[in-house]
Structure 1
């Protein structure tokens, strides 16, 4: 059975267009709720969202769907994705839902589902929900007397703030540290500055005035210029940029220079290893992580396990193989001793702790290795031709083989389709930056002309 609704990270698309409509949201809630109904207890689902205008469309639709099958709904309001995972588990809820399209613009939205353990659903469970959606009218609904109830959790922000603060070393404070925090006008616009302030930092918040339309717009982890400029303008020690649902981060050092997720993973891995707290003998990352990270970890006697792109695949490998640190170059950082999914704020606190302990500038602490030249180009397909069909064309396959031959074992080529947008991502890395640029250019041109 093919997947009609679920992609790389839940359901995502243009708001008020299939599959992100009120009607489908209601059906998804009924199907997911029916899947998690078990036992005679009062069943509960926790629902959070980011700051998109369309959250007002999807939140009541999902609430109605869950209530209709007899589940109580706890509404969190704007909260980071990792907070939903944490509160689902903390409140002993039967499932959790995050309404967000993460780093996408406001026009998009999505639905991410969590199981009672606070982890995102596996492919197998998503497929079971997909099957229920194929025959939605057969799902039994509750009688009038057994309908669910909905209530708002007024102290949700405070619960998450305390949870995050408790991941920071008890013997440290952030006194004297000037920190720029860019919240992408998204879900963490209240909690992130508060956490930093309460730990003693001199906080310079930016992109903390969401209006429903400006989430991720010229700000946040995917558009870092605002954060970089603020670091330099205010003479800050470090900059932190979160994305719209705050499950990823990108940093800037005191000079405003970008520090990506690979460098963050390297720093946290070394810190945990030094404290004898790193489990599994290495780090889990995706196929996108730079070979420089792999070489750095190897020098530390650590392994790098690669997975497909998507933090839930990172988490799956971590759980199966006993690792407690994983992440993505794009900034998802998963520290399973604390969280069930990527948490940009918790990862940032680990970096800030390392800065305090080292008592050196960020530029000297957060760059553990020199990355190999790497280039990524996104090719948008607008012809309506399925991405798999484009990648299956012989001319495209020949271009990829030719690119790999040019690198001649000194690098690698990675071609993949986006799980959230009609894009084909072309990436190459190697020791020769000019050659890498040529390989990406040639493959991208072939894909563009073929589609």
Structure 2
């Protein structure tokens, strides 16, 4: 739940510390169904789809998705929950449909930007938001119970929803708030990462009037995120330059992240896109609350927002923490450098297509190039080094005396013009070492020296 990964190659996840197998997926569907039904009975059955409670299940294009889809379907059915199957669809599309169909939850089978061999399950509430911690804990506890099945006449039923993609396309288009001309006159390159948005994203931009050149739209079950999409935006950049396009859009495997490329072929990351969206909201008199980034957000973003008189706040790394701070502070716009951006005045969760539309709308409204819109964000050099560590050792390493002394030494050298961050990966046995400052050479040197200390201590 949240963003949990369970690798089919044996990588272990957080829920139940079990590998993602068909048996586990079946149990997860059953346990989730039982807990969601209990919650439904506690709050009353208002807003339930039809006469029977249901969940919406979608997936990205990984080969293993078909297997896990069937297992989850069986689990929910055995708990007495109907299943609406929508097939490959971007993660935010499932969040939207969970609300639209008044379902108990939206369930996404995806490992986002990870390689095809990984897979996992992400849940959204009936409001289209991540599940709260208490509900996740309740589902995890239910997983420990003996699996049972409801009476035959109470079994859940499953059906395919053929209109899912069309509904989601219309939703995305509605978020752009474009003038009558729409996107006419713009030429775009869209890289779908051979993932979940390969059918919907190009259609959204085409139907709004843009000329669209699509790459990364031939999924075969094994090539999702493979040398394409938001983790490899250089291919989008090459296509933009070759075709003379106005901008490029690179999505990730499950369609909730967006990296863009300007007309010069320069990659524009999530920090820069967040600035454009926030500034556009401010110009329209719509911005409220602070803009929320993360501990990894570039110092240049903070300085650019400050120059515009826009409050900036950092949250822990992870879209759920950005969302929590936005809710707590009454904000509407936030996101991560990776391109996972949240526009709460348009959607309930991060959406790569919706994010790109907000930037394109700003370009059209102001008749400016993307390079001009992002120019105020002068990014500070930032070096990130991933150090492989033993599982479960991150906390010990971060409090290790030698590591702490090395961090202090680097911070002293940077002074007030830089910062250091150590952060464990949420999905891999890695400790991420980040150093940021004005001097790129010094930043790279400090990051390497600090990473070397972490690596040495990890080997002890």
User: Scaled by the length of structure 2, what TM-score is found?
Assistant: 0.93
Which residue does the alignment assign to 1:3?
none
Partner of residue 427, structure 1: 434
- Superposed CA deviations along residues 98-142 of structure 1, whole A, max 9, x for unmatched, are 111100110111100111111011233212211222x221x6531
**2:338 aligned residue:** 330
1:365 corresponds to which of 365, 370, 373: 373
Change in 2 beyond 3 A, CA 1:199/1:14: same
Q: Across the two proteins, how many residue pairs are aligned to each other?
A: 440
Residue matched to 1:199: 208
- Matched-pair contact (CA < 8 Å) for 1:241–1:249: yes
1:321 equivalent in alignment to 2:329: yes
Aligned to 1:441: 448
**Residue of structure 1 in register with 2:257 after alignment:** 248
The equivalent position to 2:305 in structure 1, one of 297, 305, 328, is: 297
CA contact (8 A) 1:358 1:365 kept: no
- Paired residue secondary structure (2:25): helix
1:42 aligns with 2:16: no
1:349 aligns with 2:342: no
Q: Determine whether 1:266 maps to 2:275.
A: yes
- Give yes or no for contact 1:414–1:426 (8 Å, CA) kept in 2: yes
CA contact (8 A) 2:384 2:447 kept: yes
In the alignment, which of 2, 15, 19 is matched to residue 8 of structure 2? 15
CA distance in 1, matches of 2:178, 2:111: 34
Q: 2:91 aligns with which of 75, 78, 81?
A: 81
Instruction: Tell me which residue corresponds to 1:221.
Output: 230
Secondary structure of the corresponding residue to residue 231 of structure 2: coil
For 2:408, which of 398, 401, 411 is the aligned residue?
A: 401
Measure the CA separation in 1 of the matches of 2:115 and 2:9: 14
Shift of 1:202: 0.8
The answer to whether the Cα contact below 8 Å between 2:178 and 2:361 also exists between their aligned partners in 1 is: no
**Structure 1 CA distance, aligned partners of 2:392 and 2:320?**
28
Give me the whole-angstrom Cα distance separating, in 2, the residues matched to 1:384 and 1:121: 26
Moved more, 412-421 or 291-300: 291-300
Q: Which runs of at least 4 in structure 1 moved beyond 3 Å after TM superposition?
A: none
Q: Which residue of 2 aligns with 1:92?
A: 102
* 1:143 matched to 2:136: no
Q: Work out the CA distance in 1 between the residues paired with 2:355 and 2:440.
A: 30
Query: 2 CA distance for matches of 1:112 and 1:159?
Result: 21
Q: Please tell me the root mean square deviation across aligned C-alpha atoms, in Å.
A: 1.5
Aligned equivalent of 2:219, options 201, 205, 210:
210
SS at match of 1:221: helix
Q: Equivalent of 1:410, from 397, 405, 417?
A: 417
Q: Tell me which moved more, 246-255 or 389-398.
A: 389-398
Note the alpha carbon deviations across 1:254-284, whole angstroms, 9 max, x for none.
Answer: 111110111111111110011111121x201
| 1:58 counterpart = 2:68 | yes
In 2, the alpha carbon distance for the partners of 1:246 and 1:273 equals 27
Q: Are the equivalent residues in 1 in contact too, given 2:188–2:248 (CA < 8 A)?
A: yes
| 1:259 and 1:367 in contact (8 A); partners too | no
CA distance in 2 between partners of 1:250 and 1:405 (Å): 34
Report the Cα distance in structure 2 between the residues aligned to 1:359 and 1:295, rounded to whole angstroms: 25
Residues 72 and 150 of structure 1 are in contact (CA less than 8 Å); yes or no, is this contact kept in structure 2? Answer: yes
Partners of 1:421 and 1:66 in 2: CA distance? 29
In 1: Cα distance, 2:214 partner to 2:391 partner: 41
Distance 2:228 2:121 in 1: 23
Which digits, 9 at most, give the CA deviation of each residue in 1:81-109, with x for residues without a partner? 10010000111001110111100110111
Secondary structure, aligned partner of 1:426: strand
Cα distance in 1, alignment partners of residues 345 and 128 from structure 2? 13
Task: Give the Å deviation of 1:362.
Answer: 2.1
Provide structure 1 residue ranges, at least 5 long, that are not aligned to the other structure.
1-5
Structure-1 separation of matches of 2:394 and 2:401: 14
- Post-superposition Cα deviations, 1:333-360, rounded to whole Å, max 9, x if no partner, equal 1111121111011110111111122223
In structure 2, distance between residues paired with 1:89 and 1:220: 28
After superposition, what is the alpha-carbon deviation per residue over 1:312-343, rounded to whole angstroms, capped at 9, x for unaligned? 11111112221111111110111111211110
Give the secondary-structure state (helix, strand or coil) at the position aligned to 2:205.
Answer: helix
Equivalent residue of 2:58, what SS?
A: strand
Q: 1:30 aligns to what?
A: 30
Is this contact kept in 1: 2:202–2:214, CA < 8 A?
A: yes
